[in-house]
Amino acid sequence: MVFLLVCPVLSIVVSLVMISTHVDEHVAGGLMGGLGGLASAMACMSALGPASSEESTGHSAMPGLIPVSRTAQVVGRYLFLLVAGLLWALDVVICGGVFIVFGDIADMGWIGTLAAGAFIFALAIILGSVLLACAYRFTFRKMMVASGAVMVGLYAVIALLARLPVDWQWLLLNITDFLTIWWHTALVLAVLCLLAYFGSMLIAIRIYRAKEL
């Protein structure tokens, strides 16, 4: 969480350096893209903090706390995911705002900056929801191994699909045209967020209720 507070300050320093060295706006745009990827990953990792701490130290690390029901504990962690996602999305907007104040060196504008923050929030919610549900079923070591297996599986599926006699370029162009309308993209992200968030929460509640502590 320290980097969450330091990131806007670093944006000011980077902006001053980029202005003094006359860096191209594409470089600033690339920095914003990198910041967005970092923010989405950090939001997921921040949300997994309580689960990671409990796994490494056990329940004895939380003496004196008032016990809550298993359902309430799961709901609390998912609410924490919302807070973490909002904070990191806000951080991206603040960093983009710093670039705008110093002359819009990222060439995004306020609308682009707000859209980037909304996208980071959606991505954090979708990925974080999947990881939280997995955290109730698997240890973090198994999750890392499973993540590697999933990545290899995705590459294999993509390679197999590429060999099918289907005009994928036409399909991708139609999807891209559909998503170029901003409210189409917002609607798709909203539906994905709701499905991932509440579906994952229900699965996590069911897993945690059946688990022996």
Mean pLDDT computed over every residue of the chain: 78
Q: How far apart are CA 85 and CA 43, in angstroms?
A: 5
Does pLDDT of 105 surpass 70?
no
CA distances from 158 to 131, 146, 168 (A): 23, 18, 11
pLDDT tens for 41-94 read 777 777 777 777 666 665 554 544 555 678 888 888 899 889 888 888 888 888
Domain range list for the chain: 2-210
Burial label, 93 (beta-carbon count in 10 A; 0-12, 13-18, 19+): buried
pLDDT tens for 17-48 read 776 666 666 666 677 777 777 777 777 777 77
Q: Which residue has the higher pLDDT, 164 or 133?
A: 133
Question: What integer pLDDT is reported at residue 130 of this predicted model?
Answer: 87
Taking the model in full, what pTM does it have? 0.78
pLDDT, average across residues 138-154: 78
Going by pLDDT thresholds of 50, 70 and 90, the confidence category of residue 200 is very high
pLDDT tens for 165-183 read 777 777 778 888 887 888 8
Q: How far apart are CA 160 and CA 163, in angstroms?
A: 5
Going by pLDDT thresholds of 50, 70 and 90, the confidence category of residue 107 is low
Question: What integer pLDDT is reported at residue 64 of this predicted model?
Answer: 45
